[in-house]
C-alpha cells in the first residue's frame, strides 16, 4: 500500500474503533459521550474545508471593491456578476462603489483597467 492508502486505512480503523467503543455495553455514559465527541472530531477533521481562492480582504478595504479589484481583467466582471456574487442588488453595488470611490461602477472599472495597463 502507498502512503495515502495507509493514511485512509488508519482513519477508517480509528473511526471503526470509536464506533465500537461508543456502542459497547460496558461503557459508562461519560465515556460514551467522550467517544461520540471523539468520533465527531475525527469526522470534522477529515472533511475538506472550502478554501477561498481569492486572497484575504484587508480589514480597511470594502469586500465589494476588493472583489472588483481582484477580478478586473476578467471580462465577465459586470455589475450583475458582482451583485450575484454578493447576493445583493445591482443598485446597492452601484451605491457602494460610488460611496467608496466617488466614481460610477463603469467609470471605476475603466479607470482601474487604465491604471493597470499603464503599469
User: What are the sequence ranges of the domains in the chain?
Assistant: 3-46, 63-113
pTM above 0.75, yes or no: no
CATH topology of domain 63-113: Arc Repressor Mutant, subunit A (1.10.10)
According to the model, what pLDDT value does residue 27 have? 58
Q: How do the pLDDT tens digits run along the chain, 119 residues long?
A: 455 556 666 666 776 776 666 666 565 666 667 667 666 766 666 666 555 555 565 667 789 999 999 998 888 889 999 999 999 999 999 999 999 999 999 999 999 999 988 88
What's the grid cell of residue 119? Answer: 503599469
C-alpha to C-alpha distance for 100 and 110, rounded to whole angstroms: 16
According to the model, what pLDDT value does residue 93 have? 93
The count of other CB atoms within 10 Å of the CB of residue 79 is 18
According to the model, what pLDDT value does residue 105 have? 94
Amino acid at each position: 500500500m502507498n502512503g495515502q492508502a495507509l493514511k485512509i486505512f488508519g482513519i477508517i480503523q480509528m473511526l471503526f474503533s470509536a464506533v465500537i467503543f461508543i456502542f459497547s455495553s460496558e461503557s459508562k455514559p461519560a465515556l460514551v459521550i467522550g467517544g461520540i465527541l471523539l468520533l465527531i472530531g475525527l469526522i470534522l477533521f477529515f472533511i475538506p474545508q472550502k478554501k477561498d481562492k481569492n486572497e484575504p480582504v484587508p480589514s480597511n478595504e470594502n469586500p465589494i471593491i476588493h472583489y472588483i479589484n481582484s477580478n478586473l481583467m476578467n471580462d465577465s466582471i459586470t455589475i450583475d456578476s458582482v451583485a450575484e456574487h454578493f447576493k445583493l442588488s445591482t443598485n446597492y453595488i452601484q451605491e457602494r462603489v460610488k460611496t467608496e470611490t466617488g466614481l460610477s461602477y463603469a467609470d471605476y472599472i475603466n479607470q482601474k483597467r487604465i491604471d493597470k495597463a499603464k503599469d
